[in-house]
A and B are shown apart, each in its own frame.
Chain A
Amino acid sequence: MGMSAAAQFHVLAVDDSLIDRMLIERLLKTSSFHVTTVDSAIKALQYLGMVEDKLKGYETPEIHQNAEVNVNLIITDYCMPEMTGHDLLRKIKESNSLKDIPVVIMSSENVPSRINRCLEDGAEEFFLKPVQQSDVNKLKPHLLKSRSKEEEETQPINNNKRKQESSAPFNKNSYKIKI
């Protein structure tokens, strides 16, 4: 599938609440995002190409498979059974291939320590529920920044210090993840 220069941003929304999934999907689509929703953190990891290694937990396989996933932003609820949004955030940031994807956390509870911990662990934003259009409007700058950084890093000379840490065999800077 060819992607034009003005390709839509693809957002993966994670929430165990059916109502909240419907709401976030509508909010995101109103902002012209392409949206995929899943109802758990584990399903989100699977969608992103992570598989469960019995010894190591979830990780991205080294072997390329057929499917291709292109996610530009992940927005996730905090309180979910089995795996919280915070756990999901950490798994994403620990993954070489996924760590540059911006992650946003949503929560109905205003707990400063929770908010700070999420932001410290790499979340771009923390939205209090119910999420508003004004919150969603804050997403585009993060996405545009990521996209321009991505374009910059495909140049032969770059001085982005993050790239120095990359040891991934495939081009992790494209968010297309071959799984």
Chain B
Amino acid sequence: MERSQPRRQVAAMKQSLFDQGLLDEQFIQLEELSDDANPNFVEEIVTLYYRDSSRLISSIEQALKERHTLDFNKLDTLMHQFKGSSSSIGAKKVKAECTLFREYCRTGNAEGCMKTFQQLKKEYASLRKKLEAYFQLARQAGPMETACRPK
């Protein structure tokens, strides 16, 4: 049927994001919080995440510029905050990079921190694009039963 085609595409896209390990169960929890009064909750919180975390990314970037005299405590604190937000929206891969980064902070590994941060930024940017595409498709498909669990 024509009407269900876009919905199947949305479901398939979501399945793909899960298969790629980009999102975890928390994303489904967010979808379950959407209702008639708040139909765009997930998109709103993700949008806010990207807006709010950009300053954390900048702060970490700035702190990493110290190169040979990195303040690992400060970096760890910043990353703790960023990891928390990433976890709250279900950003699985981004969260994993945060964990790795914090490990390098713990062991005082500057090289590790810098490499991991580059990877983290890539994942963060890539996820943003994919979620934007997902939300756009979801909006076009119209209201659907939310929280379809991917297999």
Which residues of A are in contact with B by a Cβ distance under 8 Å? 17-20, 22-23, 26-27, 30, 79, 108, 129-130, 132-133
Closest 6 CB pairs of A and B: A19-B85, A130-B88, A18-B52, A108-B84, A26-B33, A19-B88
Which residues of B are in contact with A by a Cβ distance under 8 Å? 26, 29-30, 32-33, 35, 38, 41, 44-45, 48-49, 52-53, 80-81, 83-85, 87-89
Among B29, B83, B84, chain A packs the most CB atoms within 10 A around the CB of B84
Output the least CB separation between A42 and chain B (Å). Answer: 18
Known A19-B89, A23-B45; 5 more pairs at CB < 8 Å: A20-B85, A23-B88, A27-B33, A108-B87, A133-B32
Contact of B45 among A19, A30, A133 (CB under 8 A): A19
Binding site secondary structure of chain B: helix
**Known: A17-B85, A22-B45. Is A79-B29 also a contact (CB below 8 A)?**
no
> Across the interface, do B29 and A130 meet the contact criterion of CB distance under 8 Å?
yes
Residues of B within 8 A of A130 (CB): 26, 29, 87-88
Residues of B within 8 A of A22 (CB): 44-45, 48
Output the least CB separation between A138 and chain B (Å). Answer: 16
**What residue in chain B is nearest A16 (Cβ atoms)?**
B81
Residues of B within 8 A of A108 (CB): 80, 83-84, 87
14 contacts between A and B (CB under 8 A): A17-B81, A17-B88, A18-B52, A19-B45, A19-B53, A20-B84, A20-B88, A22-B44, A22-B45, A26-B33, A26-B45, A30-B33, A130-B87, A133-B33
Binding site secondary structure of chain A: helix
Among A26, A79, A129, chain B packs the most CB atoms within 10 A around the CB of A26
Residues of B within 8 A of A17 (CB): 81, 84-85, 88
Output the least CB separation between A166 and chain B (Å). Answer: 39
Residues of A within 8 A of B81 (CB): 17
Residues of A within 8 A of B48 (CB): 18-19, 22
